[in-house]
Amino acid sequence: MKIKILGTRGKIEESKPYHSKHTGYLLDNTILVDVGEREFLDKKPEAIVFTHFHPDHAYFVEPKEEFDPGVPVYAPENLKLVKGLEVAEGKFKVKAYQFTPIPVIHSLKVKSLAYLIEKGDKKLFISGDVAWIEKKYHDLIEGSDLIITEASFIKKGGQIRRKDNQIFGHTGVPDLVRIFKPLTDKIVFTHYGSWFIKDVPEGRKKIKSLQDDEAELISGYDGMEIEF
């Protein structure tokens, strides 16, 4: 599998070269996961999969534009703006790829899914935005060749908020490392917060400093390609 990271900027005002585009991943030039920028459609994907309908993952939700790409669209929930949407309930197949949706705790307003994507013996996990992933799902993620996750906050605990016993927001990079390093050898960070964009070399160092023998930690950038 080859994954191209189209955008690595989180939902922030700041922008830097190589970190100017919002979220999007192109899998083998075929499937687009999240569409944080309209221009990602120029890649002419044959199917589109959304982790959740926040504007930095779905460029059309804030201007409330209709989204009618003319290819199958899979998402955690229905949205009137999106034509031809199929709600991802249970495993589904897109071409040769098997998608297993995994519920993620992130927002009180929109449903969020991570995806385990399998083709042959290759296994990729894309987390989307994460406040937490319940322990019962960790077994499914185990043995991933690659995990792509977010880096909104570098501090432990991130920025978790609470309402009526429900948590939401983003956990911290150290917490994500702790969850994911037993489950893979390689973790790629995307969806950077201001802490990273303000000083990119320093941000990359901070991520690298959390690395140990268990897993390699990689700072993603707009346009990065990883083959595995």
Smallest separation (angstroms) from Zn ion to the CB of 193: 10
| Rounded distance between C-alpha atoms, residue 15 and residue 118, angstroms | 33
Interface residue with Zn ion among 4, 9, 54, 181 (CB under 5 A) is 54
Q: Is 9 in the site for Zn ion (CB under 5 A)?
A: no
Q: Is 21 in the site for Zn ion (CB under 5 A)?
A: no
Q: Is 129 in the site for Zn ion (CB under 5 A)?
A: yes
Q: Is the Cβ of residue 64 or residue 93 nearer to Zn ion in the bound state?
A: 64
Q: Is the Cβ of residue 118 or residue 129 nearer to Zn ion in the bound state?
A: 129
* Region of 4-12, 67-75, 171-179, 201-209 interacting with Zn ion (CB under 5 A): 4-12
Q: Could you give the residue ranges of the DSSP H alpha helices within 74-199?
A: 138-141, 173-180, 194-197
The DSSP line for 41-73 is: GGG--SEEE-S---TTTBTTTTTT--B--SS-E
From the list 177, 170, 172, the residue with the least C-alpha distance to 210 is 177
Q: Is the Cβ of residue 37 or residue 129 nearer to Zn ion in the bound state?
A: 129
Report in angstroms the alpha-carbon separations of 190 from 64, 95, 105: 25, 26, 18
* Region of 24-32, 55-63, 137-145, 161-169 interacting with Zn ion (CB under 5 A): 55-63
Report in angstroms the alpha-carbon separations of 166 from 76, 128, 175: 19, 19, 18
Q: Could you give the residue ranges of the DSSP H alpha helices within 20-167?
A: 138-141
Smallest separation (angstroms) from Zn ion to the CB of 158: 12
Number of residues forming the site for Zn ion (CB under 5 A): 4
144: which DSSP letter? B
Q: Is the Cβ of residue 13 or residue 227 nearer to Zn ion in the bound state?
A: 13
Q: Is the Cβ of residue 11 or residue 186 nearer to Zn ion in the bound state?
A: 11
Q: Residues interacting with Zn ion, by CB under 5 A?
A: 11, 54, 56, 129
